[in-house]
Amino acid sequence: MKNLLIFTISVFLSLMVGAQTKYEDSLRLESTIDWLEDKLTYNYYNENDDEWWINRFTFNKGSESVTIKNIASPHLEAVTDKTYLQLNFRLQELNPYTIQIAENENNAGRLVKGKTIRIGAYNKSIKRVKNGRLSNNQSFLYLSIPHFFEDSLQNYTETIGLRLEEAIRLSTRIYNQSHQQNMASIQSMLAGKFTEPSGNTWIIDEIFNKTFEVSVVSASDDLLAKHFVQLGDELIVNSITGEGMSQFALSTSDAPEMTYTSKELTILFRNTNEFIWTIGSTPVILVRDWREEYLEAKYR
């Protein structure tokens, strides 16, 4: 119930953010990245292990990826006896709906007393390198925020979590372009499993080139509806529900966000992991499904 509440609140907040142009969003993203690089670059001490830790958050503009480095040493100026942990990922690979903040009462390696931010990633896409050796990719990351930050600034960790969520959203946003470019964007992002706040699941498969089958399944595994989405000179949707079969021919709007609409159906593609399907006046918010598969302690 708690996770569903967090999901619902996050979706509501995302809807409150007004549509911006690609240029405006790029400026916001650059500003947010600069802020994160500043706030997530710091040193801290683990008194139980008698070790200093250096945390570095760096955005690589060329590859549009993030590198987080955690370096442990007996003292800050040490040249030897260092331990290096490096995580590499793209912001687009993180799931903003999985951001969680927890109190940490113990010191354990790089996770010290204070608060911990935990973020999940799609498809185990976070590359992990320890002491120069590439190890298994992981499906989540942790950021340790020592207690002295919380002592000096109220809601420090929560603010970092919000700015991380903003950066992820901005990096995944889809913009209205030419029809051909829009069709390519939809084809690249549409397949997968998406979840409603209600618990219903939309399973989307590309059964033929540019033709997608959409199965809407309830939390109790009942088939609620079938849709077939065809990408071409138009965006065509054939829907089969308990009320019968309907066909919709959708055309693009002039909105900054990529939106296809007809008299009865509107599909708003907010980003590569989220879209809104509106029949009449009833919006259905769909977010790409993410499931935790590995024990949290494995990659600490």
pLDDT tens for each residue of 171-192: 999 999 999 999 999 999 999 9
pLDDT of residue 132: 84
pLDDT at 294 over 90: no
Average pLDDT over residues 256-266: 93
Determine the pLDDT at residue 174: 92
255 three-class SS: coil
Q: What per-residue confidence (pLDDT) applies to 286?
A: 95
- For CA atoms 257, 262, 263, 269, the dihedral sign is negative
152 versus 100: the higher-pLDDT residue is 100
> How many percent of the chain have pLDDT more than 90?
63
The per-residue pLDDT for range 3-42, each reduced to its tens digit, is 443 444 444 444 444 557 888 999 999 999 999 999 999 9
Mean pLDDT of 88-117: 91
CB atoms within 10 A of CB 171: 21
What's the per-residue H, E or C state across 12-81? HHHHHCCCCCHHHHHHHHHHHHHHHHHHCCEEEEECCCCEEEEEEEEEECCCCEEEEEEEEECCCCCCCC
Give the pLDDT confidence score for residue 297 in this predicted structure: 37
Nearest by Cα to 258 from 189, 212, 166, 163: 189
Region 54-72: what's the mean pLDDT? 93
Beta bridge partner(s), residue 212: 206, 229
- pLDDT score of 158: 94
The CA angle 19-205-239, to the nearest 5 degrees, is 75
Let me know: does 203 contact 131? Beta carbons within 8 Å.
no
- Under the banding of pLDDT at 50, 70 and 90, the label for residue 2 is very low
Neighbours of 133 (CB within 10 A): 8
Q: Which two tokens stand for residue 136?
A: 């298994």
CA pair distance 106, 35, nearest whole angstrom: 28
Residue 188's H or E segment, with its range, is: helix 179-189
| Per-chain mean pLDDT for the chain | 87
